[in-house]
Structure 1
Amino acid sequence: MTRETSRHAPTFVARSPEDLLAVVPVVLGFAPTDSVVMLTFGGARPFHARVDLPHDPGDVAEVVGALVDPAVRHRVGRVVLVLYSGSDQPARRVANALARSLERSGIAVVDCLRTDGQRWFPLLGRHPGVPAHGVRYDVTGHRFAAEAVVEGFVTHASRDDLARSVAADPARVAAVEAALAGVDTSSGSWRDAALRMIRLVTTHTGLGTVATDDELAQLVGDLRVDEVLEMAVELLERETARDDVAFWTDVVRRTPAPALAGPAVLLAFAAWLAGHGALAWCALDRVVEVDADNAWAGLLARLLEQAVPPQVWGDLEPPGTDTDSHAHESPDVA
């Protein structure tokens, strides 16, 4: 099951179903399909989340738990549910089960809609008088979308489109692969490699530039040393997360598979710090391609699954420490 939490988009005030339908792609970073989206309000640290819409009735309980558990943990007061589906039955089945569980947990469901991408339909008895064939809408020119563009937020056409934004670029990978042949990581200490990494990363993220093939080859070679990767993770900060996302996205797209895990971990954490959970999951997918048991990826996956906000950054222990097995099991972030 795929679950994503929202990025730090501008603040919007939704006053109509059309406003809600316009804001979802902006906060997620892509236009969802076959999905259950939950927008939360009233908690100490509100979040918004998406899961795949289950078509098998046996999977409904898992989806309900995936959304209700973090809402309860973060003491959310109110939610809006938007279900993306061309079929009424699976959407209504999930909406009913989810609304019951939320309300039993003391969380009010303010609104609940289904959309097929062109028309919206009320669920749970909201919006009386809406015709059975739904209400046609078009949010392509909505002011929320325009405001997001002004703020520099890119909204992708789909999750697949978002995933392609971090996919390998074969020609550029080949260029770095050739440069790797000339990289010597056997000489010098890991501290030398860490200092080299810090200088390169801080220079390029500060200037908004990209590494040359030779620089990138040396960087990804150095990141294969555990201590260097941990220091690179420690360099990440919420205040500069968007710059870090831009830099590490470029690195991930150009890195050969044998050296991919470290850069993809760094992109995933940078995306989480930027509040872009969907991009973080896409980056984690790239990690799993080459290292299914990566400890850093496991740590971030737990944070994302529990909707842990980036505000806890700095209090986390790296994977493999004595506290890792229990400190992140149920973090108190409310």
Structure 2
Amino acid sequence: MTAIERSQLTVRSPADLIAAVPYLLGFHPTDSVVAVALLGRQIIFAARADLPEPSTDPAERARHLAGVIRRQGAESATVVGYGSADRVTPAVDAVRVALAAGGTEVLDALRVTEGRWWSYLCAEPDCCPPEGRRYDPSANPVTASAVFAGQVALPDRAALVAQVAPVDGPPREAVRAATARAELRITELIEQAPESDLLGGRALRSAGVAAVRAAHRRQRRDERLDDDEVAWLSLLMTHLPVRDHAWERTDGRDRDIALWTDVLRRAEPELIAAPGALLAFAAWRAGQGALAAVALERTLSLHPDYSLAVLLDDLLRRGVPPSELDGWPSVGMPGVLRPRRRSRRGRR
């Protein structure tokens, strides 16, 4: 399941809502059921799940989807299914029942297939003809508003996954060589630490803080880290105090997402846990739940017990909105997230 929270878009018709969904998700959905939460006429949230297999009961997935929507404080919701009628109808019906049971008004329930939409709740042939109503999202004002707001709709979820996929070929070999150099550098750093610095912990943290700050400076100047910088940073972030320092300075800014996406793609597989979790956190804070989800999928596939990734995966699956985090993380025990007082810099 993917949950998202993005810039508010105003909808006035089913065609408006259908045009908005890909920009809310970040990609054009297929074989999916989407629940869109609204306050008045404004979309505030959307949650997506794959259509259940025909042999499975859709009720459990529907209850979870409805629970995610309820947590957003929405007044109402519309359910949209993408795919053939035999698969969409049971899923949409189950979500409608689950939403209504939780007290959420269901404004409409739609099926979208091959450029047409049908309503399960409208029986007026002038409004909702039995052959469906054709729509053109490229001509819809909601699409123009989303594009103007900087929102992107990729062709499909696979395109989103590709954004966090590892580099290969010569770039991979270059980072692998840089990582070997960074390992020697780490060894020298620890060996040269004073005896009072147990296991070189202070030296590692000092080097890590410097590496994080340097990475942020490069990002602010729109400069990409070189291979040695990626290797050094990703290796230092296996030291939890360094990871936590980077986490405290990560929010939902575009430059945070760009930095951790780049490091995640280029770091060696054994070193992706911290950058992958930080990308997921930044994407979640920015309301880009789909990007957060694919970052976590890649991270947890290689590091299933990494505590920060596990924590964020739970927040995302439960549909906890970023607005519940007052400010950015105050880190106590490693992997423990707690809110702290709002900064003067102003967070939503």
TM-score bucket (shorter structure): 0.7 to 0.9
Greater mean deviation of Cα atoms: 310-319 or 32-41: 310-319
Superposed, which structure 2 residues align to 1:184-203 within 5 Å? 184-186=185-187, 187-188=189-190, 189-203=203-217
Match of residue 174 from structure 1? 173
| Structure 1 residues 94 and 317: CA distance shift in structure 2, 3 A | farther
Superposed, which structure 2 residues align to 1:16-31 within 5 Å? 16-31=13-28
Residue 205 of structure 1, CA deviation: 2.8
2:63 aligned with 1:65: yes
Instruction: State the SS of the aligned residue for 1:245.
Output: helix
C-alpha contact 2:35 2:48 (8 A) present in aligned 1? yes
The code of the aligned residue for 1:225 comes to H
Superposed, which structure 2 residues align to 1:2-13 within 5 Å? 3-9=1-7, 11-13=8-10
C-alpha contact 1:179 1:214 (8 A) present in aligned 2? yes
| Structure 1 residues 201 and 90: CA distance shift in structure 2, 3 A | same
Partner deviation per Cα, 1:129-150 (whole Å, 9 max, x = no partner): 4232211222134333333333
C-alpha contact 1:176 1:214 (8 A) present in aligned 2? yes
Instruction: State the SS of the aligned residue for 1:18.
Output: helix
C-alpha contact 1:113 1:121 (8 A) present in aligned 2? yes
Unaligned runs of 5+ in 2: 191-202, 340-348
Match of residue 207 from structure 1? 221
C-alpha contact 2:71 2:320 (8 A) present in aligned 1? no
Instruction: State the SS of the aligned residue for 1:181.
Output: helix
Whole-angstrom CA distance in 2 between matches of 1:237 and 1:254: 21
Whole-angstrom CA distance in 2 between matches of 1:132 and 1:246: 46
Whole-angstrom CA distance in 1 between matches of 2:123 and 2:241: 55
Whole-angstrom CA distance in 2 between matches of 1:323 and 1:126: 51
Whole-angstrom CA distance in 1 between matches of 2:318 and 2:332: 17
What is the count of residue pairs matched by the alignment?
320
Picking from 29, 32, 37, the partner of 2:29 is 32
Partner deviation per Cα, 1:258-282 (whole Å, 9 max, x = no partner): 2111111111111101100000011
Match of residue 290 from structure 2? 278
Whole-angstrom CA distance in 1 between matches of 2:145 and 2:172: 35
Whole-angstrom CA distance in 2 between matches of 1:190 and 1:243: 25
Instruction: State the SS of the aligned residue for 1:50.
Output: strand
Whole-angstrom CA distance in 1 between matches of 2:336 and 2:225: 36
Instruction: State the SS of the aligned residue for 1:33.
Output: coil
2:81 aligned with 1:89: no
Whole-angstrom CA distance in 1 between matches of 2:25 and 2:212: 31
Q: TM-score, normalised by structure 2?
A: 0.84
| Structure 1 residues 167 and 67: CA distance shift in structure 2, 3 A | same
Instruction: State the SS of the aligned residue for 1:169.
Output: coil
Whole-angstrom CA distance in 1 between matches of 2:36 and 2:114: 18
Q: TM-score, normalised by structure 1?
A: 0.88
C-alpha contact 1:6 1:277 (8 A) present in aligned 2? yes
Picking from 152, 173, 193, the partner of 2:150 is 152
Residue 195 of structure 1, CA deviation: 1.7
Partner deviation per Cα, 1:13-40 (whole Å, 9 max, x = no partner): 2112211111000111100001111111
Residue 57 of structure 1, CA deviation: 5.2
Superposed, which structure 2 residues align to 1:1-334 within 5 Å? 3-9=1-7, 11-42=8-39, 46-56=44-54, 58-85=56-83, 87-125=84-122, 128-129=125-126, 130-171=128-169, 172-183=171-182, 184-186=185-187, 187-188=189-190, 189-238=203-252, 241-313=253-325, 314=327
Whole-angstrom CA distance in 1 between matches of 2:123 and 2:265: 45
Bigger radius of gyration? 2
Whole-angstrom CA distance in 2 between matches of 1:279 and 1:323: 22
The code of the aligned residue for 2:177 comes to A
C-alpha contact 2:36 2:45 (8 A) present in aligned 1? yes
Whole-angstrom CA distance in 2 between matches of 1:289 and 1:94: 28
The code of the aligned residue for 1:178 comes to A
Match of residue 332 from structure 1? none
Residue 124 of structure 1, CA deviation: 3.1
Instruction: State the SS of the aligned residue for 1:233.
Output: helix
Greater mean deviation of Cα atoms: 191-200 or 224-233: 191-200
| Structure 1 residues 319 and 307: CA distance shift in structure 2, 3 A | farther
C-alpha contact 1:174 1:256 (8 A) present in aligned 2? no
The code of the aligned residue for 1:52 comes to D
C-alpha contact 1:82 1:112 (8 A) present in aligned 2? yes
Question: RMSD in angstroms over aligned alpha carbons?
Answer: 2.5
| Structure 1 residues 125 and 93: CA distance shift in structure 2, 3 A | farther
The code of the aligned residue for 2:130 comes to A
C-alpha contact 1:208 1:247 (8 A) present in aligned 2? no
Identity of aligned residues (%): 34
Whole-angstrom CA distance in 1 between matches of 2:286 and 2:166: 22
